Amino acid sequence: MHELNDETRALREKIFEYVRTRMEYDPVPLDYPSSEEELFANAGMTLTEQGLGGTKALEIFEQVLAPATISTDHPGFVSFIPNAATEAASLFDLVVSASSIYGGSWMEGAGAVFAENQVLRWLAAEVGLPKGAGGAFVQGGTVGNLSALVTARDSHREKLRAANKAVPEKLAFLASKESHSSLKAAAKVMNCELVLAEPNADGKLTGDSVAAALSYQPADSVFAIVATGGTTNFGIVDDLHGIGEIAKANHIWYHVDGAYGLAAILSPKYKHLFDGAELADSFIVDPHKWLFAPFDSCALVYREPELARAAHTQHGEYLETLTESGLWNPADYSFGLTRRTRGLPLWFSLATHGVAKYREAIEYNIDVTLEIARIIQSRDYLELVREPELSVVVFERKGWTLQDYNSWSDKLLKDEIGFVVPSSHNGRPNARFAVVNPLTSVELLTKILETMK
């Protein structure tokens, strides 16, 4: 499809111009979703035998589709987990796209894989894993968790077989009741059980609770214990040390799900929250959540990557030349084969800005969160649901029903102030700010609180 002519050259300039304009917005338009009917009325059938031409197609994107697509990098987007990529990272994503890089194997992607591996090793060192730790960048935390758990299960089976022990029919892994939904999804596709342990009143899973839950499970049935390094709902970090000790004492794989929160280990001020992460056999952290990289990317790291290789390498006649090469093939460490080099935008941004800028930006996000929590506490119409630990704060507007939250949330978006969807805890509706965008300020969040009076 290489068709460099005057027309495609002109289109290239138009696309660059679009990118330039998008990156110059301050702030970016928040936008608002439309219905399929509305979109069809305005965009029409865009696929034709002859094609619309790039100019027309871009015009439809710019005028119809983009305005119906919420900008998750708007500073007032504080729902779910927002995405705030650095310009360096976003721009390099364009380079990745323009370079046709196959990231599954060293043979094809050596230079790019080398750069990604530097990032993975750096993350491993920050977490405290020994030299030799490594893994791959995958699509997202869900795939990262699944890949780590499959490795844990296979290693568990191998260990039992090597010891001439029977492999229990039903295997299980253990995590907190406050852990992420992706673990439930992993248990479902793996056809294994997820044992949910009770966190304490602060939402933190402790070693004692894990030990208690473990004591009810049949011998040799639990193949992994998962701790969460920053729950998605509240940003609470489990007792990583206490849980890690229990896992080690029982010779069970220890996985730390740090998709959202583990990035905060980079901050010297908050690093202590993650004491015990160094005990992990595997961990994940999503650059698209709190490492200022574009969608979508998850860093998946193993203490002993060889175990992942044994679990995940695909074998096929046309692949053996890669498999037998003895080279580092990222596809061998996760579920999946063909792979975009999803770690490269983060690598480029880190190489550009230096690591210190990341430490500062993350710390700033937490400082903003703690300050807005104080402001919430000081307002008589609001109530903090739980003291924040990282950059998520959850609070209630006294007297509001879910209906009140919904209509307030809709107006906030229509007024282009912010995007805050209602959340809930223990059946009670609430509001939740997740702060991972350095442009999200105390002033802006205060302005949002004002609209709740």
Residues of this chain that bind ligand PLP (CB under 6 A): 81, 140-142, 145, 180, 182, 228, 232, 257, 259-260, 286, 298
- 62 exposed, middle or buried (CB, 10 Å; 0-12, 13-18, 19+)? middle
Q: Least Å distance between CB 391 and ligand PLP?
A: 12
Q: Least Å distance between CB 441 and ligand PLP?
A: 23
Q: Least Å distance between CB 177 and ligand PLP?
A: 13
CB 240 within 8 A of CB 204: no
Q: Which is nearer to ligand PLP, 257 or 396 (CB)?
A: 257
Parallel, antiparallel, or unpaired: how do β-strands 172-176 and 222-228 relate? Answer: parallel
Q: Which is nearer to ligand PLP, 226 or 322 (CB)?
A: 226
Q: Which token pair is 42?
A: 């305005």
List all residues 6 or more positions away from 262 whose beta carbon is below 8 Å from its beta carbon.
127, 229, 230, 256, 274, 277, 283, 284, 285
Q: Which is nearer to ligand PLP, 239 or 257 (CB)?
A: 257
Q: What's the per-residue H, E or C state across 373-418?
A: HHHHHHCCCEEECCCCCCCEEEEEECCCCHHHHHHHHHHHHHCCCC
Neighbours of 121 (CB within 10 A): 17
Q: Least Å distance between CB 236 and ligand PLP?
A: 11
Q: Which is nearer to ligand PLP, 182 or 209 (CB)?
A: 182
3-class SS of residue 63: helix
Complete edge-to-edge strand list for the sheet that includes strand 298-302 = 134-138, 298-302, 282-285, 253-257, 222-228, 172-176, 193-197
Complete edge-to-edge strand list for the sheet that includes strand 382-384 = 382-384, 392-397, 428-434, 423-425
List all residues 6 or more positions away from 393 whose beta carbon is below 8 Å from its beta carbon.
235, 369, 372, 373, 376, 384, 432, 433, 435
Question: What is the enclosing helix (H) or strand (E) of 147?
Answer: helix 141-162
Q: Which is nearer to ligand PLP, 105 or 233 (CB)?
A: 233
Q: Least Å distance between CB 281 and ligand PLP?
A: 17
DSSP type of residue 65: I
Q: Which is nearer to ligand PLP, 221 or 391 (CB)?
A: 391
Q: Least Å distance between CB 182 and ligand PLP?
A: 4
| Alpha carbons 249 and 59: distance in angstroms, whole number | 61
Q: Which is nearer to ligand PLP, 171 or 237 (CB)?
A: 237
Q: Which is nearer to ligand PLP, 106 or 335 (CB)?
A: 335
The single-letter code of the amino acid at 331 is A
Q: Least Å distance between CB 389 and ligand PLP?
A: 13
Q: Least Å distance between CB 123 and ligand PLP?
A: 16
Q: Least Å distance between CB 146 and ligand PLP?
A: 9
Q: Which is nearer to ligand PLP, 46 or 424 (CB)?
A: 424
